[in-house]
């Protein structure tokens, strides 16, 4: 297996994964419509890897574009990152999310099927789990997304599951990410959100660099030790290496589409993340506690046993590493990638 099609390659997780793949000898075909990214990340990936890759600008919903790509380029496996990911936006614009995330996945499966490509890794999310009251999520835990975004991920999982049931030659991993944060240790790749960040780590790092004044902590009355929300943060390079592990293990996975959590298996509170970031950056992070954010749950983290068993992979980077690398990226690129 040598050539991997990576959709959504220019995005946050895609770009780090392309780099890891290139550094492990894979040829990468990077596919993106750049609706939430730019070519700049892929330029940096090629510089860091010291190796060129094929870049195709296109939309995963464009079946003709995909058919043409598969006809001129032999592909051994596909990693499908392309999608929209903002929970609040998905509530306001559900059709856009279902169109992009669900139809995009169907078009891709069709194009792969026509081309005889049967190895597929799908970017799913811990957001498919139901807020059941138990913080540890197993792959067998109750399912119940609470946003159109989460529903779109679950629908794509279901489509792949049903498709695999009648196409037993396919090998499919449904990777459910917990909270990806951090950046490549070089400070050349990282998360570059548009506008004001929705998520904790990019918000903190923009406060640290002086772009935002104060962090709002969404609630300190949760039933957690310090009252703030707890999440399972995973370094984006651990996550990228998880995709490499999944690629190498795909052929040995059980038949059908296999859901696998990618998380560290332990959680950190908002106040712990703030303290770790202050230590890593030497900057103080002013914050004030405000009301809970609607839709948030108190705490959850992964059971990461299945990934260790099936993929022979586990995380190796700490919260301090995540904060150090985020800060290194943010201070070197205060405005993100060159626009
Ligand atoms: P991102 O927005 O940085 O990257 C997604 C990429 O897909 C972007 O480069 C965007 O331009 C591209 N894209 C979107 N729609 C496309 C389309 N129709 N055709 C071609 N390209 C398209 O997001 P990310 O954080 O790198 O997330 C990657 C994947 O992981 C997404 O599917 C996301 O839902 C999933 N995921 C992300 C998180 C997270 O917290 N970052 C958590 C769980 C799951
Ligand atoms: N938080 C704050 N202030 C902020 C932002 C976040 O206090 O400005 C808190 C949240 O309340 C939560 C924690 O920080 O307790 C983490 O919040 P994030 O927004 O960083 O992450 P979420 O867990 O809410 O959401 C993430 C992804 C979603 C995905 C979900 C489950 O952003 O796309 O994980 O995988 F659906």
> How far is residue 166's CA from residue 168's CA, in Å, rounded to a whole number?
6
Per-residue model confidence (pLDDT) at position 295: 87
Contact 215, 286 (CB under 8 A): yes
Give me the phi and psi of 181, to 5 degrees please. -145, 180
Token duo for residue 326: 């985020």
Ligand 1 pocket check: which of 5, 8, 181 to mutate, most ligand atoms within 8 Å of Cβ?
A: 8
149 is catalytic: yes
Ligand 1 pocket check: which of 11, 93, 121 to mutate, most ligand atoms within 8 Å of Cβ?
A: 11
Contact 99, 27 (CB under 8 A): no
Per-residue model confidence (pLDDT) at position 339: 84
Per-residue model confidence (pLDDT) at position 85: 97
Per-residue model confidence (pLDDT) at position 1: 60
Per-residue model confidence (pLDDT) at position 95: 98
Contact 180, 13 (CB under 8 A): yes
**Among 90, 70, 156, which Cα is nearest to 121's?**
156
**Angle between the N-to-C axes of helices 319-332 and 200-208, in degrees from 0 to 180, rounded to the nearest 10:** 50
Q: How far is the CA of 84 from the centre of ligand 1 (A)?
A: 5
Per-residue model confidence (pLDDT) at position 312: 98
The string of pLDDT tens digits covering residues 218-264 is 999 999 999 999 999 999 999 999 999 999 999 999 999 999 999 99
Q: How far is the CA of 17 from the centre of ligand 1 (A)?
A: 12
Low-confidence residues of the chain, pLDDT below 70?
A: 1
Per-residue model confidence (pLDDT) at position 273: 98
103: Cα separation from own chain's centroid = 19
> How far is residue 150's CA from residue 168's CA, in Å, rounded to a whole number?
27
> How far is residue 240's CA from residue 169's CA, in Å, rounded to a whole number?
25
Per-residue model confidence (pLDDT) at position 263: 98
């Amino acid at each position: 297996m040598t050539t991997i099609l990576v959709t959504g390659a220019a995005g946050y997780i895609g770009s780090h994964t392309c780099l890891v793949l290139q550094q492990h000898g894979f040829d990468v075909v990077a596919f993106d419509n750049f609706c939430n990214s730019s070519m700049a990340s892929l330029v940096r990936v090629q510089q860091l890897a010291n190796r060129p890759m094929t870049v195709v600008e296109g939309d995963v919903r464009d079946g003709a574009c995909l058919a043409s790509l598969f006809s001129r380029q032999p592909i051994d496996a596909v990693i499908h990152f392309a999608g929209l990911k903002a929970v609040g936006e998905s509530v306001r614009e559900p059709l856009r999310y279902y169109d992009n995330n669900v139809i995009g996945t169907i078009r891709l499966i069709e194009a792969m099927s026509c081309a005889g490509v049967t190895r597929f890794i799908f970017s799913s999310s811990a957001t498919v789990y139901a807020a059941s009251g138990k913080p540890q999520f197993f792959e067998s835990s109750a399912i119940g997304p609470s946003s159109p975004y989460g529903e779109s991920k679950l629908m794509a999982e279901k489509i792949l599951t049903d498709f695999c049931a009648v196409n037993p030659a396919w090998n499919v991993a449904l990777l459910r990410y917990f909270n990806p944060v951090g950046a490549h240790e070089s400070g050349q790749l990282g998360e570059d959100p548009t506008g004001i960040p929705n998520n904790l780590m990019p918000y903190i790092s923009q406060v640290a660099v002086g772009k935002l004044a104060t962090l709002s902590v969404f609630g300190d009355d949760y039933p957690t030790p310090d009252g703030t929300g707890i999440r399972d943060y995973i370094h984006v390079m651990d996550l990228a290496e998880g995709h490499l592990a999944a690629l190498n293990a795909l052929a040995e996975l059980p038949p059908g589409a296999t859901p696998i959590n990618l998380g560290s298996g332990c959680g950190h509170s908002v106040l712990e993340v703030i303290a770790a970031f202050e230590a890593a950056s030497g900057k103080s992070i002013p914050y004030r506690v405000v009301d809970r954010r609607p839709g948030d749950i108190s705490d959850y983290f992964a059971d990461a046993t299945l990934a260790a068993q099936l993929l022979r992979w586990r995380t190796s980077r700490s919260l301090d590493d995540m904060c150090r690398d985020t800060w290194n990226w943010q201070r070197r690129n205060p405005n993100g990638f060159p626009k």
